[in-house]
Amino acid sequence: MYETVLRRNPGEVEFHQAAHEVLESLRPVVDKRPEFVDASIIERICEPERQIIFRVPWVDDSGKVRINRGFRVEFNSALGPYKGGLRFHPSVYLGIVKFLGFEQIFKNALTSMPIGGGKGGSDFDPKGRSDGEIMRFCQSFMTELYRHLGEYTDVPAGDIGVGGREIGYLFGQYKRITNRYEAGVLTGKGLSWGGSQVRTEATGYGTVFFVHEMLRARKTDFDGKKVVVSGSGNVAIYAAEKVAQLGGTVIALSDSGGYIVQEGGIDLDAVKELKEVRRGRISEYAEKRDARFVADGCIWDVPCDIALPCATQNELDESGAGALVKNGCIIVAEGANMPTTPEALRVLRRGGIEFAPGKAANAGGVATSALEMQQNASRDTWTFEYAEERLHDIMQGIYGTCAMTAEEYGMPGDYVAGANIAGFIRVADAMLALGVI
């Protein structure tokens, strides 16, 4: 099957990597459930239901016409409408969107919510762009995408480069074109216009809730633990915040320009102001504080008990993993999607580090998006405490599912196998029930 994926999707290396990891886990499932083979479920699950690629023309502040490429891959809708974020980053191409969409199918299934898997984005680079340029780009992007969306069809959210501001412009244009206040068509909305409490915090908080369960299984907790978090965007900031609330100390954060280290613990309010308000660089944090900025290093060289890669794909490689093992790290949990290379994962396993894959550990974001859809459908708004409690329950549920499934299939403690197998079975059962479509 992997050979088929390679042949049918040439050059899409990230998609190959994501598919390989899942396919590798499915061998024992195929032995136990031959009906999945008879119905060609694995072949079907590797082929997106629909792939949309479109031109996004827009005008920059100097009056120059710019052209970007937009994508939406609607991968699998056996469990519900396609659900998954939009990424605006110059590295975006079909292979990235497909890897993210493929992961999203299993992640969404693990949440036990009624949502299918999809992903989208553009090779547009928002860095250095004015507010007006961002708005014009978002409006042009939505002018094509709107016809593929709907609260029962496809419901995007944010991802790298797409936060509350972008979701606002996208929703505004959708509303204008369709003349419908269809709040459930996008998630990650502002609190005053249909958003949910805790959506902003959900991915980071959820990752830390998952780690908390791993620590509980080891009969310990965050108290006194040193934690390194890569990135300083949405996921990283709120992962760091929850670590601090639970008694851990976040000693390092990064962006694509380098990383900062502060042994006494990083001042998260200052990071929020720097990144969410001023949209500055992480190096600026170190200028006025007792912190070190390292431009050309590797954040995984910083000794820690727990490492949370929360920036981007393939950011933790073999040598980074080697440094974590050498320095006595006990847990790596992926806040980002596929940040750990396959070689790094082998090193972590050999070194006895417990590992939580993104499709389980970072599922809190999409789960809270589904809670946002639930509130939109019932015209209700929940309190922060209630939404966080729901998120916490969901993450405990995902942890339990992964741990139990790994045990059932003879691989106790292997959360990668547990997540892949449990997510796959839920989708595969629905696909069987829905016939050959």
Residue 263: φ, ψ to 5°? -60, -35
The string of DSSP letters for 137-194 reads HHHHHHHHHGGG-BTTTEEEE-BTTB-HHHHHHHHHHHHHHH----GGGSSS--GGGT
Region of 139-147, 239-247, 311-319, 397-405 interacting with ligand NDP (CB under 6 A): 311-319
Residues 349-378: x where in contact with ligand NDP by CB under 6 A, - otherwise, as a string? -------------x--x-------------
Region of 60-68, 334-342, 400-408, 409-417 interacting with ligand NDP (CB under 6 A): 334-342
Find the binder of ligand NDP among 73, 311, 347, 416 (CB under 6 A): 311
**27 touches 411 (CB < 8 A):** no
Find the binder of ligand NDP among 337, 341, 375, 405 (CB under 6 A): 337
Q: Scan residues 240-259 and list those touching ligand NDP (CB under 6 A).
A: 255-257
The Cα 56–Cα 62 span in angstroms is 18
Find the binder of ligand NDP among 108, 312, 376, 401 (CB under 6 A): 312
When the beta carbons of 41 and 301 are compared against ligand NDP, the nearer one is 301
Residue 158 touching ligand NDP (CB under 6 A): yes
> Which are the contacts of 102, defined by CB distance < 8 A and separation ≥ 6?
15, 18, 19, 22, 46, 75, 117
Residue 410: φ, ψ to 5°? 75, 20
In the bound complex, what is the minimum distance in angstroms from residue 265's beta carbon to ligand NDP? 19
The Cα 146–Cα 241 span in angstroms is 35
Residue 232 touching ligand NDP (CB under 6 A): yes
The Cα 123–Cα 55 span in angstroms is 11
The 10 Å Cβ neighbour count of residue 385 is 10
The Cα 309–Cα 307 span in angstroms is 6
Residue type, 131: D
* 119: annotated active-site residue: yes
In the bound complex, what is the minimum distance in angstroms from residue 251's beta carbon to ligand NDP? 17
Q: Scan residues 160-199 and list those touching ligand NDP (CB under 6 A).
A: 160-161
Given 83, 98, 107, 119, which residue is catalytic?
119
Binding interface with ligand NDP (CB under 6 A): 158-161, 203, 231-236, 255-257, 310-312, 315, 335-337, 362, 365
Residues noted as catalytic:
119
